[in-house]
Amino acid sequence: MQHSNAYTFKFAAMVTIACSVLLAGAATMLKPRQEENVALDIKRNILASVDIKAGAGESLTRDDINRLYKENIQEYVINSEGDILQDKDPNNIDFDKNPDLKPLYEFVKDGQIISYIIPISGKGLWSTIYGYLALEDDVTTIKGITFYQHGETPGLGGEIDKEWFKSNFEGKRIRNEEGELISITVIKGKVENKIPPEERYHHVDGISGATLTARGVDQFLEKDLNTYEPFFRKVMQDEGDHNG
């Protein structure tokens, strides 16, 4: 009986070790593919923020996404003063370890900058929400927004990644008439029912039952817009000098 127990334990140990080795090997082999999928999803969402996406009932292949991204998006790194660092590649920087540096994306068509795109992220109710915000070349008007990674409650806060909610942001303005940054506020209910016409450009319709998620979106949008404001100010200054 003792021999039988020893044999059983030895066999179990061998199986456990073999499974561990196989799992570790599989994880190592799959890691490059997983990283590629993450990078592809980021590209897809950057494109979606400027309305480059598949039509209804269609989908973009991996090759489609990579081709469209290469044709339309330019990548940069900026510092805390809003200067573009031409010698930096955002794909080679750990921004968590370099908080003074930030990635910046431009949607360029026929040699002209159409939109500036920035990453946005922050706490919702249950999770960290990630997305991208695209501004028109006036760095005031929102062209589009996407939320692509979160763990908010389905049917409530989880509605932030639905088209009906994201489309609310299109055409809204992050600045007041004086050009000051005031960001965007997600309200309870409908904007047209609660906000005076002259202020509606700075508010979007809320999600029923998702007050804390909406509050989180308000907070991290304001935070991230302020982070990029030194760059936006340089764009506005350059535009003013050009028009002058």
What would the pLDDT profile of 112-130 be if each residue is shown by its tens digit? 999 999 999 999 888 889 9
Strands 203-204 and 185-186: parallel
As separate numbers, helices (DSSP H) first and strands (DSSP E) second, the chain gives 5, 7
Return the bridge partners of 134, or none.
117, 144
Distances (CA, A) of 216 to 168, 183, 224: 17, 13, 12
The whole-number average pLDDT for the span 100-118 is 96
pTM of the predicted model as reported, rounded to 2 decimal places = 0.83
The residue with greater pLDDT, 163 or 153, is 163
State the average pLDDT over residues 92-121.
95
Q: pLDDT category, 240, cuts 50, 70, 90?
A: low
pLDDT at 241 over 70: no
Looking at residue 201, the DSSP 8-state letter turns out to be G
Instruction: Please give the Cα distance from 129 to 22 (Å, whole number).
Output: 34
The mean of the pLDDT values for the chain is 87
Q: Check whether 2 has a pLDDT greater than 50.
A: no
Domain residue limits, the chain: 45-243
Four-point Cα dihedral 45, 105, 50, 198, nearest 10 = 120
User: Would you tell me how many other CB atoms lie within 10 Å of the CB of residue 136?
Assistant: 18
pLDDT of residue 1: 46
pLDDT tens digit sequence for 5-51: 666 667 677 777 767 676 666 656 655 666 787 889 999 999 999 99
Which ranges in 146-199 belong to alpha helices (H)? 163-166, 191-194
pLDDT above 90 for 183:
yes
Taking the C-alpha atoms of residue 69 and residue 49, their distance in angstroms, rounded to an integer, is: 12
160 pLDDT tier (thresholds 50, 70, 90): confident
Residue 150 — very low, low, confident or very high, per pLDDT cuts 50/70/90? confident
Quick one: three-class SS letters along 204-239? ECCCCCCHHHHHHHHHHHHHHHHHHHHHHHHHHHHH
If one compares 176 and 22, the residue with the highest pLDDT of the two is 176
pLDDT in tens, 72-92: 999 999 999 999 999 999 999
Q: How confident is the model at residue 233 (pLDDT cuts 50, 70, 90)?
A: very high
Q: 207 falls in which pLDDT band (50, 70, 90)? A: confident
98-114 b/e with 16+ CB inside 10 Å = b? eeebbbbbbbeeeeeee
Task: Determine the Cα–Cα distance for residues 182 and 173; give it in Å rounded to an integer.
Answer: 9
54 neighbors 65 (Cβ within 8 angstroms) = no
Is the pLDDT confidence value at 206 over 80?
yes
C-beta of residue 121 within 8 angstroms of C-beta of residue 224: yes
